């Protein structure tokens, strides 16, 4: 659903989203940097982002980054 409009990148104060280069041409949100605030999800015109929650995958990524 992401159309790589860059809105999430421009909105996120933590700098978690980034646009992937072609051929993917989509946004990716770094789970280690993401604070889970949900701002990017609120402004996404494609409704392509689910945000504002912490799941097991995100917690594991944060723990792995801290331990490395």
Over residues 29-57, the pLDDT tens digits come to: 998 898 888 889 899 999 998 865 567 78
The whole-angstrom separation of Cα 55 and Cα 9 is 21
Within 8 A by CB and 6+ apart from 29, the residues are 8, 16, 17, 40, 49
- Under 8 Å CB-to-CB from 59, ≥6 apart: which residues? none
Question: Above 90 in pLDDT, residue 65?
Answer: no
Alpha helix ranges (H) inside 1-68: 7-11, 39-43, 56-67
pTM score, two decimals? Answer: 0.70
């Amino acid at each position: 659903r992401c159309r790589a409009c860059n809105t999430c990148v421009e909105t996120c104060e933590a700098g978690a989203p980034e646009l992937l280069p072609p051929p993917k041409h989509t946004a990716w949100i770094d789970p280690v940097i993401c604070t889970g605030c949900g701002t990017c999800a609120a402004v996404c015109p494609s409704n392509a982002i689910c945000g504002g929650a912490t799941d097991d995958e995100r917690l594991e990524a944060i723990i792995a980054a801290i331990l490395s």
